[in-house]
Every structure is written in structure tokens, then in C-alpha cells.
Structure 1
Amino acid sequence: MTRSKAIARKVLFFCRPSIPVHFNEPVHYAVKFRSAIPRYLIGCLPAWFARPFMTVRVSERIVEIPFVFSNLRVPKGSVVVDVGCVESRLSLELANLGYKVLAVDIRPYEFCHPNLKVIRGDFVQSPIDDRSVDAVVAVSTLEHLGLPCYSMQGSPGSDLSAMEKIRRILRPGGQLILTVPYGQEGQTEWFRVYGHGALQRLLEGFAVDKLEFYERIGLDAWKEIREENARGISSDGETNCVALVSAFVAKRQNG
């Protein structure tokens, strides 16, 4: 991505229409054009007029969210932290299912539930006590942490700092459910892509219980693939492959 395009995307991101935060649905309409300016202008049009310029897209949430509900193994009433809750219904859904949810994001979360507590701010600096949490869910979040396009304070190692925080706040034997872009390792203005080695570094201190990989097929489908096939997939500009992880903190952990 050229410097001028990167600057344009940042400007358009912060100058987008001031509307309430929306849910990032797994199946949604998206502008057909890849260029930032047409995408922004069409996004400002009334829905009926913009429809000819839109196409149906299926994001990685179509496999990530079912993975969470299929693999979350802590009992109802457990304390679950959702890292990066905005634009997702996951915190609300978990709260409605009976989990005690701590939803963390740098942006305001406009919804509430008796089982839901919102913590606004940097996750790494959040006031969550060590060994106080039964499970942590981080769906398509770590790859964004510390990147300047989100006006975040951070560094290239912000994702590793977040993982260190997760290890600290989880009780011994606590569960982590993590999803990240996977394939040819790299970084765009908006997200990181994790290769085999980078993913292993994220998961240091965890015993992996389940690891799955899914590849985007066209605009409207995802399919499970083997890791050796996932490693060669490029996600330059948008996520084309994801790793879905369920892991547990070793019960013998002391630090």
C-alpha cells in the first residue's frame, strides 16, 4: 500500500459518518469497489440508492462465532472477558447465556445487561485482577492492537503484551479462545497476519486444545483447510485465512 493510500484510509476512517456503532455481522452488504474514496462516498448514500453498488460478503465471523460457542467449556456463571467487544454481539450473547462478562474496548459500548460490565480503555492497562477470570475470548482483536490507524497507544509488541495480560488474569486451568488472521506473515495498516512461528509465540504458556484453519472461498463462503495449506495464503488488504484456537493455561503456572 502506497503512503498516499494509507493516509487517505486513515482520514476516511476518522471522518466517516458519526452514527452509532453497528454490529459487524458475519453476512453483510459491502461496497463492490476496493478504492477507499468510492467506498466512503457510496457508504454515505441512502441504502436504496447505494444497493446497486453493493454486494453480499461473508466475513470470517461466520466461522469464528460458532467456534466460540462450540468450544467454550467453562460453566455458566463463570467470569468471561471479551477483548475487543465493540461491533460484536458476542458479549451480549454470552451475558444472556448466563456468563458474567467483562467487555473491554477502547471505544464505548452502548449496550447493557445485568451480567455485563463494560471496561473502556486499553486492555493491557485494564483493572482486571490476576487469576480472577475463568475464560478470555479474543475474536479478531489481537491483530489490531497497537496499530496507529486505530489511534492506539502501543508498539509492535502490543499483541504479545496483551497475551501476557491474558495469561496473568486467567485462573490456573482457565481457557482462551483466540482467532487471528493466518498465513503469510506480515502487517498492513489495519492488521497483522500471523504465520506458524508468530502464532506459537502468542500461545506460549498455553496448552492448545483445538486448532482449526479456515480459508475464504470467493465472497460468500469459508472452508476448513489443513495448516500446511493455510501457511501459504496471503491476506494483503483483507483477511483470507483465519486460525481458530482453544487453549488452556497450565494449572501448574505460578507466575
Structure 2
Amino acid sequence: MNIMVKFLNLLRQATALGIVVFGKIIKTLNIFIFYLSKSKCEKFKDCVLLAKLIERQPDNSDRYLEYPWMLENIDITQGRLLDVGSTASNMLYDLLPKTVEINSIDLNAKPIGNDRIKFSVGDIRKTEYPDNFFDMVTCISTLEHIGVSGRYGSDDDPTGDIKAMKEIKRILKSGGAALISVPYGIKDVLPINKLYNKGRINELLRDFSSVEIEYKKYSKKFNLWLTVDEAEAAKTDMIKDRWYAIAFIKAKK
């Protein structure tokens, strides 16, 4: 029995070592994939930083929270919806009534793979959509990259996110809502993400008639996301705390 226990312990240690080594290989591959494809960052040093941050990302990442929240808060059964950044376009088409027309916009061409989704290559800071055109806009984990130089092909524009929100308001119908998720915390991690705080959020949303915000923060101790108040979310340091907090925003025109 003792021999078997020792063998199993050795096997566990070898497996743990293998996982660590495999993780390092994946990190290195990510760096070169990001750099060669230019899909996420343009500069090599930025690709290194991004791969390092992704290595620290919680297993139950942002999307496990963002997409359910988004779907729970979509309250239209017909009309037009615009997905900014095209992160959820196919999901929205599959799960919403077919009386909702799904539109999608992104700086870069993407293989959406569904001809019924109206995809446009364009800049949400200045679009060709008419005023008061959409019943709802979704912008999931996208706003923080707008105007961050080299990120997903963006140029350098410190007020790019503010311009984007003004444009979203313009193309929303009166009474329409924008569903937005953004990283929240004490300082930006550039050139990867802007991190938002109360002042920045107020500036983004000051022209909307009503705003609802909830916050989630990752707990390293419990390995899960907890609902917190704004003050606790605002203390989050993406580097020290492993990840940023998330603000979930529903803003009505």
C-alpha cells in the first residue's frame, strides 16, 4: 500500500510539472500567434504582455458572466439590434426571436458565417447608420479597446470610448438601451485595456436618461466571481489582484 501511495504521489507531481511546462509552451505560442496575425496587438512587447495577462486569467473568465447577463437584459422581441465588436452576433441570432434583426459592426472583417446577420466593417465612433435606428445595442468587452493604439487595429484616440458612446446614443431609438460590459479598477493596463472608474463611467453615460450598473469582482480565495459594490470594485488592481473587476451597464436613451 505504501509503495502504491508513493507511486501515486510521484505521478501527481509529474503531472503537475507537465501542466506547468505545457502552460509555458502555450504562453509562448500565444505570443507568436498574436504577433504574426496582428489580430490582438501590433507590437511584439505588447503581445508578450497580453500573453502574460491571459496566463493569469481566471478559469471562469469574463464571458461566463457577460453573456448570461447580456441575454437576461435583452428585452426586445422585434426590431433591430447592433452588436458592437461582433463578439456575440451568432449567439444573439441563435437565441433571440427571428423577428429581431441582428446587425454587427467591427473595425476588422470577420468570418461571421451567417448571411442573415448584417455585418459591417466600420468604426463605432462614426458610423453610417441613421439617427434613432436601433432598438438595442450590445457592446460586450469592447469599449475598453476603442482608441487604444494597436489593439485590434485601433488608432490612438484617448477619447475614443467617449466618441463611441455618443455615436451609440445617436443611433439608438428613444427608450432604447445599450448593454455594455467594461473592466473596472484603479488604473489602466495599457496598451491592453482601459480600466474604468466612477468618473470615467459618468463621463461616458452623462447623456443617457437612465443608467443601471452592477459590479463583479474575482476572488482568488474562493475562485469565483462575487457581486460587490462600486467602492470595492474600484479598488481592484488588475496586476495585483490577478484580474480586473467588471461593470455591467444598462443605459437607456
Give yes or no for TM over 0.5: yes
Q: For 1:202 and 1:106, locate their aligned partners in 2 and report how far apart those are by CA, in whole Å.
A: 21
State the Cα deviation string for residues 23-72 of structure 1 (Å, max 9, x = none). Answer: xxxxxxxxxxxx939x59xx9xxxxxxxxx99972211111111111111
Q: For 1:56 and 1:182, locate their aligned partners in 2 and report how far apart those are by CA, in whole Å.
A: 16
Q: For 2:38 and 2:173, locate their aligned partners in 1 and report how far apart those are by CA, in whole Å.
A: 41
SS at match of 1:126: coil
Structure 2 match to 1:132 = 133
Name the structure with the higher strand share: 1
Residue 110 of structure 1: CA displacement? 0.8
Structure 2 match to 1:162 = 164
State the Cα deviation string for residues 198-226 of structure 1 (Å, max 9, x = none). Answer: 11111111133531100112395212111
> TM-score scaled to structure 1, two decimals?
0.73
1:186 equivalent among 185, 188, 199: 188
Q: List runs of 5+ in structure 2 lacking aligned partners.
A: 1-29, 41-46
Larger radius of gyration: 2
Structure 1 match to 2:20 = none
Letter in 2 for 1:164: K
Mapped contact 1:12–1:36 kept (Cα < 8 A): no
Residue 123 of structure 1: CA displacement? 1.8
Structure 2 match to 1:196 = 198
Percent identity between the two aligned chains: 24
Q: List runs of 5+ in structure 1 lacking aligned partners.
A: 1-8, 22-34, 44-52, 250-255
Letter in 1 for 2:245: C
Name the structure with the higher helix share: 2
Structure 1 match to 2:147 = 146
Tell me whether 1:230 sits opposite 2:242 in the alignment: no
SS at match of 1:198: helix
Residue 121 of structure 1: CA displacement? 2.3
Structure 2 match to 1:36 = 48
* 1:80-119 equivalent positions in 2, closer than 5 A: 80-85=81-86, 88=87, 90-96=88-94, 97=96, 98=98, 99-119=100-120
Q: For 2:134 and 2:57, locate their aligned partners in 1 and report how far apart those are by CA, in whole Å.
A: 41
Residue 189 of structure 1: CA displacement? 0.9
Q: For 2:58 and 2:188, locate their aligned partners in 1 and report how far apart those are by CA, in whole Å.
A: 27
Q: For 1:130 and 1:55, locate their aligned partners in 2 and report how far apart those are by CA, in whole Å.
A: 39
2:247 equivalent among 227, 236, 243: 243
Alignment length (residue pairs): 211
Structure 2 match to 1:15 = 36
Q: For 1:167 and 1:54, locate their aligned partners in 2 and report how far apart those are by CA, in whole Å.
A: 35
SS at match of 2:174: strand
Residues 154, 131 of structure 1: alpha-carbon distance in 2 compared, 3 angstrom cutoff: farther
SS at match of 1:100: strand
> TM-score scaled to structure 2, two decimals?
0.73
Structure 1 match to 2:14 = none
Q: For 1:114 and 1:188, locate their aligned partners in 2 and report how far apart those are by CA, in whole Å.
A: 36
Residue 187 of structure 1: CA displacement? 4.4
Residues 127, 181 of structure 1: alpha-carbon distance in 2 compared, 3 angstrom cutoff: same
Letter in 1 for 2:167: K
Structure 1 match to 2:214 = 212
Q: CA RMSD in A?
A: 3.2
